[in-house]
Structure 1
C-alpha cells in the first residue's frame, strides 16, 4: 500500500490541476463569447452622428454616419483578403464641418494602388475604430512608396493632418473600392481549443496514472510471491 500511496496522491493531484485548467478555459470561453456578443451588438447598432468629443475607450465600434467631403491624399495599408489576395486599405482624410477625420474606405487590389478614386461631397456610414495591429514584428512604413503595414491611427492622422479618429466604412464610397467593415473575426477566441487540450491531457494523465498503479501493484504482488 505504501508503494502506491505516493503515486496515487501525485496522480490525483495532477489530474485535479489539469481538469481545473480545462474548467477555467470553459469559463473564459463564456466570458469571451459574452464580450464578442456585446461588440457585435454595438457594431450593428443604429448609426449616430459623429460625437463632438470622441473617446477611444467609450466610442470604439460606435456606428456613425458622416456627411462632408472626401479629400484627396491617400495612405495605403497592405492587407490580404481571403480568396482575393494582397491589396491595400485606402485611408483618406474626410472633412465634416470644421473637422477632419480618417476614413478607411476599404480594399483595392495591388494593381489598383495608383488608380484615381472618387472624392468630393458624400455620406459615409461605418464604425469608429482604433485597431491594435502593431507588434514587435510590424515593419516600419515605407513612406516613399506609400506602403504601410498597420493602421496606426496616431501616425496616420499626423501624416494626413486629421484628428486621431478612424471611421471604417461599411457603405460604398467608390465603385472600385470594396468596404472591409469592422467585425469580430480578428478578435482571438481560442478558449475552446485550450479547454479540449487540458481535458485531453487530463485523460492521458489519468490513463498513465492508472497504468503506473497497476504496474506497481503487480510488481508488489510478484515480490510477495
Structure 2
C-alpha cells in the first residue's frame, strides 16, 4: 500500500508541475499577443519626421516620412518570398535633408535586372528597422556579383556610405516598378507559446497515463 501511495503522490506532483508549466506558457502567450498588438499599432501609426538622433531600441518600427533623392548604385539582398519565389530586396542610399540613410525599396524577382531608382525628388514613407538576420551561418557578401545574404545594417551602411539608419519603404511618391514593397509587419515576429503550452499539457497527460499504468502493474502483482 505504501508503494501505491508513493506512486500516486509522485504522479500527481509530476502532472501538477508539467501543467503549471503549461499555464505559464499560456500567460506568456497573452503577454506576447499584447506586445505584438502594440508593435502592430506602432508600425501602422502616422509617420513622423526622421529623428535627429536615431535610437535602434527606442525607434524600432517607428513610421517615418523622408523627402530626398536616391543616390548611387543599389545592393541586392537574396530572399525568397512566398508566392513569388527567389529574388532580391533592393537597398539604396537616400539623401534626405543633408542626411544619407538607407531605404529598402522592396522585392524584385531574380529573373529581372536590377532596376534604377526613381529619379528626382522622392517622398518615402516607411518604418525604421534593424533586422536581426545575421548569424554564424550567414555567408559573406559576394561583392563581385552584388549579392548579400542578410540585411546587416552596419555592413550595408559601410558599403553604401550612409548612416546606420535603415528605412523599409511602405510607399514611394514615384513609380519604382518592377519592385514590390515589402513593408515591415508584426507577422514575422515569432510567437510559439501556444505550441509550448500544448506540449507541456500533453506531457502532463502522458505522465498521468504512465502513473496509471504503473499502478495497474503494482496492483496486478499484489493480487
Contact 2:70 2:117 in 1 (8 A): no
Which residue in the other structure is 1:155 paired with? Answer: 155
Name the one with the larger strand percent.
2
Q: TM-score, normalised by structure 2?
A: 0.95
Separation (CA, whole Å) in 1 of partners of 2:117 and 2:59? 29
Deviates more, 1:155-164 or 1:198-207: 198-207
Are the aligned partners of 1:76 and 1:91 in contact in 2 as well (CA < 8 Å)? yes
Tell me the TM-score normalised to structure 1 length: 0.94
Please give the root-mean-square deviation of Cα atoms over the aligned residues, in Å.
Answer: 1.2
1:183 is aligned, of 185, 196, 219, to: 185
Distance 2:40 2:122 in 1: 26
Aligned to 2:200: 198
| 2:42 counterpart of 1:42 | yes
Distance 1:114 1:180 in 2: 16
Q: Distance in 2 between matches of 1:66 and 1:116?
A: 19
Q: How many residues align?
A: 221
Contact 1:48/1:65 (8 A) holds in 2:
yes
Please give the secondary structure, in 2, of the residue aligned with 1:54.
Answer: coil
Q: Which residue of 2 aligns with 1:208?
A: 210
- For structure 2, list consecutive stretches of 5 or more residues without a partner in the other structure: none
Which residue in 1 is equivalent to 2:101?
Answer: 101
SS at match of 2:49: coil
Counterpart residue number, 2:114: 114
